[in-house]
Amino acid sequence: MEWFAKRLGISVLLVWIVASIVFLAIHLVPGDPAELLLSQGGAAPDPAIVEDLRDQLGLNRPVLEQYLHSMANLLRGDLGNSLMDGAPIAGEIATRLPRTLELIGAAALISVLIGVSTGTLAAVAAGGPFDRVASALAGLGLSVPVFVIGTLAILGFAQTLRWVPAGGFVAFSQDPVQHLIMLAMPAGTIAVGLSSTLFRVTRSAVLEVTMRDHVRTARSKGLSFRRILTRHILRNALIPVVTVLALNLGTLLGGTVLVEYVFNWPGLSGLLVDAVNARDYPAVVGVVLVISILFVTLNFVVDMLYAVLDPRVRHG
Amino acid sequence: MRRLPWVSAGAVGLIILAAVLAPHIGLADPVGMDVAHRLAGPSPTHPLGQDEYGRDVLSRLLWGARTSLGIAFAAAAISCVIGTILGVVGGYVRGIAELLTVRSMDVVLCFPPLLLALLVVTLLGPGASTLVPVLVIVYLPSFTRVAYAGVLSVRGHEYVTAMKVLGAGRLRIMTRTILPNIAGPILVQFSLAAASAVVLESGLSFLGLGVVPPAPSWGLMIGAARGTMVQAPLLLLWPCLALTVTILAMNALCDGLRDMLDPHPAARRVSWFSRFRRRAPTAPLARVEPDTVLDVRGLSVAIGDPAEGRYAVRDVSFQVKAGETLAIVGESGSGKSLMSLSAIGMAPAGVEVAAGTSGMDGADLLALAPGELRKLLGDRIAMIFQDPGSSLNPVHRVGAQIAEAIRAHRPVSAAEARERAVAMLRNVGIPDPERRARAYPHELSGGMRQRVMIAMAIANGPRLLIADEPTTALDVTIQAQVLDLLAALKRDGGLALLFITHSLPVVAEIADRVAVMYAGEILEEGPTAEIFAKPRHPYTAALLRSAPQDDGPAPEGISGTVPVPGDLPAGCVFAPRCDKRIEICDETRPSLFRIGPGRSSRCLRWASL
């Protein structure tokens, strides 16, 4: 319980640090931020418009006041308004966040199912034909950037074979089947890299655990092969697998941005890419903040999972 | 150390070469438009065709390599230099410097890399001049961490201390002593960062937020070709291929470098399945007296393929009776553990039983089908191992691990198995067994864990218990308790105990009979009292002299070391270290002579000892 409270405390601290950095980023850049955001290709922007933006962003007030103000707003869930259309950013994020989460969840689920099962099979028959083919495929899967996979998948499955639409989104409540079909391509695309990573870790973790003394003990107890594999080998091998999953969360979230863009999945990243293109600073800050909080939260969840898997951690 | 990964290094070298030479090999202008021939197919002047503005695709591909690799290597190099300096200073100076350099980097890790990049791009605007600082920020923490960890592991070493004593300044120590030692991991990190930077750069360019058009970049080319993928799919495939091959080569180089620099390369793993094979019986079982529990005859065990002739155990025979303790004694490396594991069909991976039988209840354990052997293991045959810390599964409660052994062989409910497990813990003298059954192994002391192991081993009332150095990892008082416990079990339960140890005092305390093993052979066997009083093999005598005694001469070591399998002396295996050696000992390998009731020796000169 004490351990739990400590991890939770650290996570809250991290969120605060992230929020502060995102706030400070605009002040760390040399020059006037408003002018910077409005400058296009070297042409000096109209001073009146710059002044307007400064006012809108609250840049004319003392930095400390701005900071406290934005932190207080953040606590109330207010992320400010978009510079493009003046709409509240928090509302836009609230509609899009669940779609991003769904995509991440589906991709992680597919990756764990494929990566852990094939990794285990490859380890059990290490050096055999399945192991060699799967290891080579995983090496390739790790090397193809996620947007290349997505683009090629559209070319192959959508444009040439015409099995699935090239992208887009239908709400689950509207048409569940179509929703899942449209989810399959982006989720599968993210899963290529992640399942390759998980394959590799699972394979080497299973091989490593197999050599341990307690597996010999399990054999000496006369347990069945399946029981030794599941309860004694896999159960222990999952610990490094979870560690690596945690290390890859950042790549996963980054990959989600690209994949949402490729498949027109209306999650957070569409908002983000548009906002970056339009130099809509409040919107970028809002999305980056939310995804970073998501990142910290996922790390916290992984820590919890870690504690469930490894009783030794709970005491450390 | 393994060899440099030539194939991947060569591939990466070729790509770098192409990038460097791109402006000098007479390529078409990568940004020169020719709208009349937009999307034109391959032609002599444009070998890979023309893109949506009629620009030469081959030229753009090679110039794209220049852009991608240039940005990636520049970013990796800058973050490598800054990160290493920060890590080395933080790790060497510690204190406030550590906080400022290493800990502050952890903050950067709160952001997913692509997001951090997008945040910076929003502020600075897209373009190559933004990309380099963005990528530097993203990869800085990893270099700092690697350098920091390297310094921490190196700074305690004697030679760093020696440098300090010699009066070398901090800067000198950091650059001359520490840097060369962390160069390996930094190099691996550099190649990882460069490969990852290529991916990140192309991703940002693909989104239109990296390299600014019309400059050639693979990410931009892929992004642009998406619009015309139906008319000109090749336009899309070329940059995808270039990017994938580049990253594949760089990743392979990273893996190769890591393997090359790994000081402890993973041993060639042997498939786990190979241990579940059945072998044909090599000889019919001999007739034995009814109270013999285990009857091992002519057991030979080879490391690797028996045809290679590396035998770790040769022609070992022994019997254990009910209610009797046979101690197998020998130095480390004599093959005693391997022999006993092999005798009950649990030979580890990479080891093969080449000959012999192991009889129990009229069946040859070495020829049983895996399923039949499994029914005996944990039921009639049980084992206790040396290190109770690693021999228990760290993630399950000890009660559950005992209950699991019971349920593997007895048709009882989970609740009943749990109750029996608690009863077993009480039997082996664990106080408050209900509570302890719910503990994880790491929550128990070493002695307590070994009691748990014993409780687990005897849970199904085995007839044979193999104890492999069960007290070696324990301190002396706990050792005595565990030995008492084993003696009591043997006395009350008619258990046959095969006790493997290198400790003669322990043998004297627990064993009825002793078999002395050396270099994979039994050199002498007999009743404990007789062996201790009158050893009939020079090795036994030397072992006895090497053991400390309360009253008597100071212990004497045995000079030399145990020979390794595959490199044995031609004659008696002990001859090179033997003080009673005569000429014939170096030429003839003696067989085991029966020298009295229940006594045997492998020494040619046993009668004169």
Range scoring the smallest mean pLDDT among B13-22, B35-44, B342-351: B35-44
Interface test with A, best of B115, B220, B255 (most A CBs within 10 A): B115
| Distance between CA atoms of residues A235 and A209, nearest Å | 10
Residue of B243, B252, B395 lying closest to A145 (CB–CB) = B243
Which helix (H) or strand (E) covers residue B297, if one does?
Answer: strand B292-303
Q: Which pair of structure tokens corresponds to residue B246?
A: 């580049």
Which position has the higher pLDDT, A41 or B435? B435
Q: How far is CA B124 from the centre of its chain?
A: 48
Write out pLDDT tens, residues A170-183.
Answer: 888 888 888 888 89
Q: Which pair of structure tokens corresponds to residue A232?
A: 């004694």
Residue with tokens 């609250």: A58
- Highest mean pLDDT among A226-235, B99-108, B114-123 belongs to A226-235
Instruction: Measure B297 CA to nearest chain A CA, in Å.
Output: 22
Q: How far is CA B131 from the centre of its chain?
A: 40
The side-by-side arrangement of strands in the sheet containing B311-321 is B311-321, B292-303, B351-360, B363-364
Indicate yes or no: CB of A214 within 8 angstroms of CB of B394: yes
| Distance between CA atoms of residues B515 and B525, nearest Å | 4
Across residues A140-164, what is the average pLDDT? Answer: 88
**Which are the contacts of B584, defined by CB distance < 8 A and separation ≥ 6?**
B571, B604
Please report the pLDDT score of residue B268 as a whole number: 46
Could you give phi then psi for residue A107, rounded to 5 degrees? -65, -45
Cis peptide leading into B214, omega within 30 of 0?
yes
Indicate yes or no: CB of A258 within 8 angstroms of CB of B114: yes
Please report the pLDDT score of residue B245 as a whole number: 92
Across residues B135-148, what is the average pLDDT? Answer: 88
Please report the pLDDT score of residue B279 as a whole number: 57
Residue pair B114/B200 in contact (Cβ under 8 Å)? The answer is yes
Q: For chain A, how long is the longest CA-to-CA vector?
A: 83
Residue pair A118/A198 in contact (Cβ under 8 Å)? The answer is no
Residue pair B548/B531 in contact (Cβ under 8 Å)? The answer is no
| Angle in degrees, 0-180, between the axes of helices A249-262 and A235-247, rounded to the nearest 10 | 60
**Which are the contacts of B606, defined by CB distance < 8 A and separation ≥ 6?**
B536, B537, B593, B595
Domains of chain B, CATH where assigned: 48-261 (1.10.3720.10), 292-380+462-527 (3.40.50.300)
Task: Kindly state whether A17 is in contact with chain B, defined as any CB-CB distance less than 8 angstroms.
Answer: yes
Please report the pLDDT score of residue B398 as a whole number: 94
Number of CB atoms found within 10 A of residue A171's CB: 10
| Global confidence as pTM | 0.84
Residue pair A131/A204 in contact (Cβ under 8 Å)? The answer is no
Task: Kindly state whether B387 is in contact with chain A, defined as any CB-CB distance less than 8 angstroms.
Answer: yes
Residue of A126, A310, A311 lying closest to B269 (CB–CB) = A126
Buried b (16+ CB within 10 A) or exposed e, B311-342: bbbbbbbbbbbebbbbbbbbbebbbbbbbbbb
- Residues across chain B: 609
Task: Kindly state whether B2 is in contact with chain A, defined as any CB-CB distance less than 8 angstroms.
Answer: no
Query: Residue B565, exposed/middle/buried by CB under 10 A (0-12, 13-18, 19+)?
Result: buried
Range scoring the smallest mean pLDDT among A30-44, A212-226, B62-76, B112-126: A30-44
Kindly report the three-state secondary structure assignment for every residue of A96-156: HHHHHHHHHHHHHHHHHHHHHHHHHHHHHCCCCHHHHHHHHHHHHHHHCCHHHHHHHHHHH
| Distance between CA atoms of residues B231 and A307, nearest Å | 53
Across residues A53-64, what is the average pLDDT? Answer: 77
Task: Kindly state whether B369 is in contact with chain A, defined as any CB-CB distance less than 8 angstroms.
Answer: no
Please report the pLDDT score of residue A33 as a whole number: 67
pLDDT category at B169 given cuts 50, 70, 90 is: confident
Which helix (H) or strand (E) covers residue B499, if one does?
Answer: strand B496-501
Please report the pLDDT score of residue B1 as a whole number: 44
Which position has the higher pLDDT, A264 or B115? A264
Residues linked to residue B515 through DSSP beta bridges, in sequence order: B328, B525
Residue pair B194/B73 in contact (Cβ under 8 Å)? The answer is yes
Range scoring the smallest mean pLDDT among A230-244, B203-217, B431-445: B203-217
Number of CB atoms found within 10 A of residue A62's CB: 8
Please report the pLDDT score of residue B466 as a whole number: 94
Range scoring the smallest mean pLDDT among B269-283, B478-492, B555-569: B269-283
Across residues B17-37, what is the average pLDDT? Answer: 77
Domain ranges, ordered by start, for chain A: 96-268
| Distance between CA atoms of residues B116 and B108, nearest Å | 8
| Distance between CA atoms of residues B209 and B121, nearest Å | 7
Residue of A17, A155, A273 lying closest to B207 (CB–CB) = A273
Residue of A126, A148, A275 lying closest to B244 (CB–CB) = A148
Indicate yes or no: CB of A251 within 8 angstroms of CB of B203: no
Residues linked to residue B185 through DSSP beta bridges, in sequence order: none
* One-character DSSP codes across A259-275: HHHHTT--SHHHHHHHH
Q: Which residues of A touch B209 (CB under 8 A)?
A: 273, 276-277
Write out pLDDT tens, residues B264-316.
Answer: 555 444 555 444 455 555 666 777 677 889 999 999 998 888 888 888 999 99
- Give the pairing of strands B513-518 and B363-364: unpaired
Residue type, B383: M
Which helix (H) or strand (E) covers residue B515, if one does?
Answer: strand B513-518
A277: nearest Cα among B196, B118, B568: B118
Across residues A190-216, what is the average pLDDT? Answer: 91
Number of CB atoms found within 10 A of residue B289's CB: 8
CA dihedral B39, B42, B48, B53 (to 10 degrees): -20
| Distance between CA atoms of residues A74 and A69, nearest Å | 9
Indicate yes or no: CB of A284 within 8 angstroms of CB of B122: yes
Could you give phi then psi for residue B558, rounded to 5 degrees? -105, 125
* One-character DSSP codes across B522-587: EEEEEEHHHHHHS-SSHHHHHHHHHS--SSSSPP-PPPS-PPPTT---SS-TTGGG-TT--GGGGT
Q: Is the pLDDT of residue A150 over 70?
A: yes
Indicate yes or no: CB of B111 within 8 angstroms of CB of A18: yes
What 3-state DSSP class applies to B279? coil
What 3-state DSSP class applies to B465? strand
Restricting to B residues 548-587, those with a Cβ less than 8 Å away from any Cβ of A are none
**Which are the contacts of B282, defined by CB distance < 8 A and separation ≥ 6?**
B298, B355, B356, B357, B366
Reported ipTM: the value is 0.84
Q: How far apart are the first and last CA of chain B?
A: 49
| Distance between CA atoms of residues B548 and B551, nearest Å | 9
Q: Is the pLDDT of residue A31 over 70?
A: no
Q: Is the pLDDT of residue B241 over 50?
A: yes
Restricting to A residues 94-133, those with a Cβ less than 8 Å away from any Cβ of B are 123-128
Domain A96-268 in CATH 3.40.50.300? The answer is no
Please report the pLDDT score of residue B308 as a whole number: 81
Nearest residue on chain B to A10, alpha-carbon basis: B110
Residues linked to residue B465 through DSSP beta bridges, in sequence order: B382, B497
Q: Is the pLDDT of residue A36 over 80?
A: no
Residues linked to residue B559 through DSSP beta bridges, in sequence order: none
Instruction: Measure A229 CA to nearest chain B CA, in Å.
Output: 10
Nearest residue on chain B to A276, alpha-carbon basis: B122
Interface test with B, best of A24, A82, A143, A295 (most B CBs within 10 A): A143
**Which are the contacts of A16, defined by CB distance < 8 A and separation ≥ 6?**
none
Indicate yes or no: CB of B453 within 8 angstroms of CB of A217: yes
Across residues B415-419, what is the average pLDDT? Answer: 94
| Distance between CA atoms of residues A123 and A135, nearest Å | 10
Q: Which residues of A touch B133 (CB under 8 A)?
A: none
- Tell me the C-alpha to C-alpha distance, in Å, between residue B251 and each of A199, B6, B186, B196, B401: 16, 13, 15, 9, 42
Q: How far is CA A89 from the centre of its chain?
A: 20
Nearest residue on chain B to A123, alpha-carbon basis: B271
Residue pair B152/B91 in contact (Cβ under 8 Å)? The answer is yes
Q: Which pair of structure tokens corresponds to residue B347?
A: 């030979």
| Distance between CA atoms of residues A273 and A283, nearest Å | 10
Which position has the higher pLDDT, B505 or B280? B505
Please report the pLDDT score of residue A310 as a whole number: 86
Q: Which pair of structure tokens corresponds to residue B421?
A: 């497990």
Task: Kindly state whether B382 is in contact with chain A, defined as any CB-CB distance less than 8 angstroms.
Answer: yes
Residue pair B104/B145 in contact (Cβ under 8 Å)? The answer is no
Indicate yes or no: CB of B378 within 8 angstroms of CB of A221: yes
Share of chain A above pLDDT 70, in %: 95
Which position has the higher pLDDT, B418 or A80? B418
Q: Which residues of A touch B236 (CB under 8 A)?
A: 151-152, 155
Q: Which residues of B touch A139 (CB under 8 A)?
A: 248, 251-252
Tell me the average pLDDT of chain A.
85
Across residues B593-600, what is the average pLDDT? Answer: 88
Tell me the average pLDDT of chain B.
84
* One-character DSSP codes across A150-206: HHHHIIIIIIIS-SS-SS----TTT-HHHHHHHHHHHHHHHHHHHHHHHHHHHHHHH
Q: Which one-letter DSSP state was computed for residue B44?
A: S
Write out pLDDT tens, residues A92-149.
Answer: 899 999 999 999 999 999 999 999 999 999 998 888 889 999 999 999 998 899 999 9
Instruction: Measure A173 CA to nearest chain B CA, in Å.
Output: 31
Q: Which pair of structure tokens corresponds to residue B281?
A: 């019986």
Residue pair B163/B236 in contact (Cβ under 8 Å)? The answer is no
